[in-house]
Structure 1
């Protein structure tokens, strides 16, 4: 669901698919540990398919993300992949006091003098705090989840689920533990799902509608195909090839130049022309802005 092609020792062929190869990055490292690969463009659906459709959950990224030209936060503002379980905000998984052994003092336990905010304390109370909700919004991550699979959790608006932690398990699977919170009685219990792929978890739980941020199709829809994955696919299944076409568009092909060619009919071109969203980022931090020199404090004020 992260837009990265992966490999597995249990791979089986399902079919062939044509995609557009638009670039490459020899330095990008995937979550599976592969460095370098091709950047592909496709028209796959982002998110989870409707209930009556195929059980496919996918995510994608922007071209600038795969080229490593923007930060993760900037990418999340364009392609947040809200349905990806690995992007859900985690809370309530830390204890209030850490017990440790002092190096050199065998057998001596000491509590570390750490003062914690209740927001990062253990328990569901952390997930319910206004501060945690603010952190989740700033990080553009869903916090409140609803159950969509009655065989594994309670499908009801009276119950809210919060992710406590996730653990890697087996072959690309996750074991996710959550708080199951009753909005009526304010009781909370802990629930751990059986190990499953992230794509499967996306059909067990889903962010509440008001916290779902849709991927912008103007800039998302790009995928990363590692060189290592390509070699394994080709070795095991074969049938990988690329067609390269040299295309050069004349200036009269663009609607923006129609004033220069009054004898041509641009009606069909105008109908098929769309405006593409653009994003401008001024810094790596959320809500960063450019400060004019006249607005800077004086030396005495600093």
Structure 2
């Protein structure tokens, strides 16, 4: 028989379970708090490892400088590095001047690339600096500005007093004139008020790091990259009588005839192709392209003024850097690449008259109904030349594509408040041909309407309001490739098509200069997309009226993939940021404080930059 528990024992037994549970609870809380503190400490440590004030997850998907200095054209010289360097200094000078109150927003000073390039050559030739400038292809050690590096400026401090205003020494377009700078003398050097110091240089080698540097510094970067060649394969066995293929005619007279790649054979039953390797890799629309394995043919320097992750190129590449380029190629404004401006608004600033995708189709033709396409018909006749003649007739798909272009142009035209008469003329012409086609239900492509092309008022409207060229001339020497005759014929645009191999087909109405009733279809096919502007230009009078606006155009889009895939195969590419400090004497506003300096060249150079503003997508409509 068990003895009864004493009262104190009963109490102790009753409290033990509570004590155990309390201890367990406290232990659990301690463990949880320890885990939380550990995580917090880890996060804090990681934050210290990333000193930047922004997060990768929160960065904007596009950014660009507010206003960039008008681009410079290097012309026929290898001075891209000097152009980019001086352009970068100009922007830094302007930003500092606005910030300090020495310049207003639209003011800037262009500096002399001609003079600064010569000063760099002389500095590089000093014995103590030769190792800095000793690179393959560098020009200074060969006593020329042909080839160099913008990053040299960080290592050559003696140049910090030798940047002169543009009026002192204008840039010369040819190599034989590179030493032409009569105003550059010892007197000029001693009284030059422009003085600066490069305090630091940051360098990046990847897309994301470059974007981060842009966002952190909020200023342009210098970029140095390899250049590619593009390889095009043009089918040789075209076979249609009367077809004017631009390059395949050379298949029999060249050693560059090779078996067609699989993607050509997949589309057409051709065995042989003409292989064309071209060093042109910027499309007429200003986009950098690389259609084939990247083969380096040199290097180039430019300025990065922004980026846009959402931009999609004509080749389907998404995201890229906005570059200020020193080449006279197809280009746009920064606002256009940032998708802040409609195509029509952009044409008011940068018409890009050499871009065949901006050409206006003033001529019209009937659409082929019920006909076979060339490929189907050719397949039936085994490709024999004498069994199928197109006589310049186009297949239904091609004409349908051209009609879509014309309808798009009509819709744009109707949005102009004072263009009703011209728009109605254009619309009636399209309706007339559609009715004619339906009534006959047969091909009638020999009937081409050029009435609008010959109407001076209509053409003035298209050029001045639509900002598009309408009449063209071939520019290949002796018309060896195009086969056209500028002396006897006028050429009005009908339309174009582009195939998957980046070859362009152009269609024109060829009109006799002696008798405008003599109209024929004129076609040039199989032109590599980057070569069109070498074969056809708008006539000179229209090119002059449609010149790109210097203050705001000159910018290209380089897809990230061009750098990640292409340039990387040829080594590295890099971008550099220069941290520049400017002395107050460098600004005309402080002239009275520095009587020892000569400000006459600065006075002649300081100017204003035009800025375009649009309300909505249509340039000639005012909001109510």
2:300 equivalent among 5, 17, 24: 17
2:542 equivalent among 186, 193, 211: 211
Aligned residue runs from structure 1 range 28-39, under 5 A: 28-39=311-322
Q: 1:70 aligns to what SS in structure 2?
A: coil
Instruction: Output one character per residue of 1:78-133: Cα deviation in whole Å (capped at 9) or x when no partner.
Output: 1111122222112445548989xxxxxxxxxxxxxxx9512565523354364853
Aligned residue runs from structure 1 range 1-302, under 5 A: 1-45=284-328, 58-93=329-364, 95=366, 117-118=428-429, 122=433, 123-125=448-450, 127-128=452-453, 130=455, 133=459, 134-135=461-462, 137-149=464-476, 150-151=479-480, 152-186=482-516, 187-212=518-543, 213-249=546-582, 252-255=585-588, 257-258=589-590, 261=593, 263=595, 265=597, 266-289=599-622
1:261–1:30 Cα change, 3 Å = farther
In the TM superposition, residue 77 of structure 1 has moved relative to its aligned partner by 1.3
In the TM superposition, residue 214 of structure 1 has moved relative to its aligned partner by 1.2
In the TM superposition, residue 264 of structure 1 has moved relative to its aligned partner by 6.4
1:277–1:155 Cα change, 3 Å = farther
In the TM superposition, residue 167 of structure 1 has moved relative to its aligned partner by 1.2
For residues 336 and 601 of structure 2, what CA distance do their matches in structure 1 show? Answer: 33
Match of 2:412 in 1: none
| Higher share in helix | 2
For residues 580 and 316 of structure 2, what CA distance do their matches in structure 1 show? Answer: 35
1:95–1:15 Cα change, 3 Å = same
Instruction: Output one character per residue of 1:1-31: Cα deviation in whole Å (capped at 9) or x when no partner.
Output: 2111112124421100111111111111111
1:262–1:120 Cα change, 3 Å = farther
TM-score, normalised with respect to structure 2? 0.39
Q: 1:246 aligns to what SS in structure 2?
A: strand
In the TM superposition, residue 279 of structure 1 has moved relative to its aligned partner by 2.2
For residues 431 and 511 of structure 2, what CA distance do their matches in structure 1 show? Answer: 18
1:98–1:216 Cα change, 3 Å = same
In the TM superposition, residue 139 of structure 1 has moved relative to its aligned partner by 1.6
Instruction: Output one character per residue of 1:271-300: Cα deviation in whole Å (capped at 9) or x when no partner.
Output: 332322222323421322366xxxxxxxxx
Judge which range, 280-289 or 166-175, deviates more: 280-289
Q: 2:467 aligns to what SS in structure 1?
A: coil
Residue pair 2:353, 2:469 contacting (<8 A) in 1 also: yes
Instruction: Output one character per residue of 1:239-290: Cα deviation in whole Å (capped at 9) or x when no partner.
Output: 21111222344555333x3367465633332233232222232342132236
Residue pair 1:119, 1:127 contacting (<8 A) in 2 also: no
For residues 139 and 198 of structure 1, what CA distance do their matches in structure 2 show? Answer: 24
Structure 2 spans left out of the alignment, 5+ residues: 1-283, 371-423, 434-447
Structure 1 spans left out of the alignment, 5+ residues: 46-57, 100-114, 292-302
For residues 68 and 206 of structure 1, what CA distance do their matches in structure 2 show? Answer: 28
Residue pair 1:95, 1:121 contacting (<8 A) in 2 also: no
Q: 1:2 aligns to what SS in structure 2?
A: coil
Cα RMSD for the two superposed structures: 2.8
For residues 596 and 313 of structure 2, what CA distance do their matches in structure 1 show? Answer: 48
TM-score, normalised with respect to structure 1? 0.76
Higher Cα radius of gyration: 2
